[in-house]
Amino acid sequence: GWTSMESNLWDKILVEMKRRLPPPIFHSYVETIDFKGTKNSALNLNFLNQFTKDSFEEKCMTTLKTVIQ
């Protein structure tokens, strides 16, 4: 399991991404992520399927990188 610190980190990331992304994008590709914690300072994310993962990488990755800098 992941720590409460990791959980808080993910909550903060979600808040920032929600602020920056269009609602349909956020709801479809970000909200559905199953956060599994962090490993070697990388986020461990579980996607519903390959389509969701690909769409997230295409539409949300730049925002995610900005948020976690």
- Residue whose entry in the numeric block shows the structure tokens 């990331």: 13
pLDDT for res 6: 83
Q: What is the pLDDT of residue 3?
A: 77
**Under the phi-then-psi rule, with left for phi > 0, alpha for psi from -120 to 50, and beta for the rest, what region is 47?**
beta
pLDDT in 10s for each residue of the chain, 69 residues = 567 888 888 999 999 999 999 999 999 999 999 999 988 888 999 999 999 999 999 999 999 999 988
Predicted local distance difference test score (pLDDT) of residue 13? 95
State residue 40's pLDDT score.
83
